[in-house]
Copies of this chain bind each other. A is one copy, B any other.
């Protein structure tokens, strides 16, 4: 169906977009879904944004829901590959017995925050879209398809790094971690209201800086309390 994320980064830094209709439609959908709600974005909006026709969307993706699914999975594949590559590198560096929890947490988060903190607005769009998508009913199947392989490898590694912590607790901690990650980018401007403007909602670097110690400590404490 579609090929790559949103074009291939060339040596000179410029981007080479896939000019095929499906990828152009996915670019438009990604852009609009992240700025509006999925529901309030119409197929006509997407078609117009892509200089295309509603019929073309239906032809290439079938339904609006399938378009969203393709939109999520397009970058999910890349994210998961990056996570698995980082995990493999770390394992080869310190050995399977030598893994610690904090580097593992960083390895899992970093590809996502590379999108969030990067200069590419489209990457940020996707991150925000994903963060709001994961909590939807019926998202589980798509998320599982795109992310579970890497997630299960990490959960296994977390257990290695935290001996004495049962599988159930690690999995719940993992879900807490996901909750914190996504709340960083999905949680609109509420934090600005709560702090009278002291905290900036779009200061994602500030989230990342406190997120790693927060989650690391959470897992560590869980391991101590479960003998």
Contact = CB atoms under 8 A, between A and B. Distances in A.
Interface stretch (A7-15, A55-63, A106-114, A135-143): A135-143
A152 to B, nearest CB: 6
A155 interface: yes
Interface in A33-65: 36-37, 39
Interface in A162-217: 167-169, 171-176, 178-184, 186-191, 193-195, 198-199, 206-207, 210-211, 213-217
Interface stretch (A16-24, A71-79, A116-124, A218-226): A218-226
Nearest to A40: B137
Interface-centre pick from A168, A184, A213 (highest chain B CB count, 10 A): A213
Interface residues of A, number: 60
A197 to B, nearest CB: 11
A152 B198 CA distance: 13
Given A186-B135, A199-B168, A210-B172, A140 B218 contact: no
A92 interface: no
A132 interface: yes
Contacts of A4: none
Nearest to A170: B195
Contact of A137 (B36, B140, B181, B194): B36
Interface of A: 36-37, 39, 131-132, 134-140, 143-144, 148, 151-152, 155, 167-169, 171-176, 178-184, 186-191, 193-195, 198-199, 206-207, 210-211, 213-222, 225
10 contacts: A39-B39, A135-B183, A143-B190, A152-B194, A168-B195, A171-B199, A176-B210, A176-B211, A180-B180, A216-B221
